[in-house]
Amino acid sequence: GFLPLQGHVVRNWKVRWFVLLQDKLLYYKIEGGKKESSPKGRILLDGCTITCPCLEYENRPLLIKLKTKTNTDYFLECCSREERDSWALDITGAIHAGHPVQVQELHRMKNSFKLLENISLQNIVERMYDSSTGIKLTRNLDQGNRYKETFTGSALVDWLISNSFAVSRFEAVTLASMLMDENFIRPVGVRSTEAMRSSDPSEKFLDDSTALYMFAESSKKNTSSKEEVHFNISELSGTIVKQGFLVKQGHKRKNWKVRKFVLRADPAFLHYYDPTKEDNKPVGGFSLRGCLVSALEDNGVPAGVKGNVQGNLFKIITKNDIHYYIQASSKAERVQWIEAIKPLT
């Protein structure tokens, strides 16, 4: 699948097509909408260590870090927590292929706690923000420093249990750790910040009345309002139904670029982002009301499509008769996207 990868020489981000084998992770360049035949590079997994979640980049909370036995660092970014955990589990399984007991333990840990099906981390954060029933924000003192709009670790654990998001303090701590991994909340002050650097996942979030946390958004209010003019806040407020990397044909130059697509409902919009950019703002998007979506045949190049494309194409025609040509990574993924989009049109 597609994953953004940070370069070694120039520290920029490029989207590559990754293929996981038993002993190595290959990555390929995409040119003209098609994967090149030879890999651009490879990551040897023998002696490799994996860090997930990796919190080294504040603007990229869904990272996986791989360190080879020659001490070369690779940073890969995923679209969602589920995708990140799936990649991390499969890569870790390949690293420990000769140690089946470790692989079984990984599967057990991954399945030990799951969110309720009708609850998402985004839902929890929205409830936390609620002025009447959300978590109470207070001023706190830590090592002589004053922090506004913070809450303690134990207060968040209490709130999660009282709102039925967790049934035990252990589950609530696990859930709070997820919120921190996804960059919804962040530690402030010495105790919580030092705990976040712990190598033990169960000790990263502290159920403690002296450990301070705050909403991550509270530290990002210096954004210029001029940067927000292209997209109405309401169209970005819908519930995320599906997200993933797809290849899109440009409107003017007709070149193919990998974009991160986010499908939202209520209101129904499809936005796409440049995954190589540091900010998290859409580079395009449109309302799905009145749209038509359909698969395109893989035999030959359909009218309106440029380049020697890989296949698995589908087309969306907006109410204003704008045509979007998009490639999925497989036929199954194309079907999933079409089935997710159709009910919202």
Whether 55 and 298 have beta carbons less than 8 Å apart is answered as: no
Torsion angle of C-alpha atoms 294, 18, 245, 77, degrees rounded to 10: 170
What's the token pair of residue 338? 């079409």
For residue 106, the one-letter residue type is: L
Closest to 234 (Cα-Cα) out of 259, 282, 269, 263: 269
Quickly tell me which residue has 């919580």 as its tokens: 192
The rounded distance, in Å, linking the Cα atoms of 136 and 343 is 38
Whether 30 and 256 have beta carbons less than 8 Å apart is answered as: yes
Closest to 310 (Cα-Cα) out of 20, 17, 32, 40: 32
Chain-centroid distance, C-alpha 330:
20
Q: Which domains does the chain have, with CATH numbers?
A: 2-110 (2.30.29.30), 121-215 (1.10.10.10), 233-342 (2.30.29.30)
For residue 259, the one-letter residue type is: R
Query: Is pTM, for the whole model, over 0.75?
Result: no
Beta bridge mates, 297: none
Whether 246 and 330 have beta carbons less than 8 Å apart is answered as: no
Number of CB atoms found within 10 A of residue 269's CB? 23
Task: Per-residue pLDDT tens, the chain, 345 aa: give them.
Answer: 999 999 776 788 999 999 999 889 999 998 877 888 899 999 999 989 998 878 788 778 789 999 999 999 999 999 888 888 889 889 988 888 755 555 555 555 555 555 555 567 888 888 898 888 899 998 887 766 778 889 999 999 999 988 888 888 888 888 898 888 778 898 988 888 888 776 566 678 998 888 899 998 754 443 333 333 356 777 878 888 999 999 999 877 788 999 999 999 989 999 999 998 877 788 899 999 999 999 988 766 677 787 767 788 999 999 999 999 999 989 999 999 999 999 999
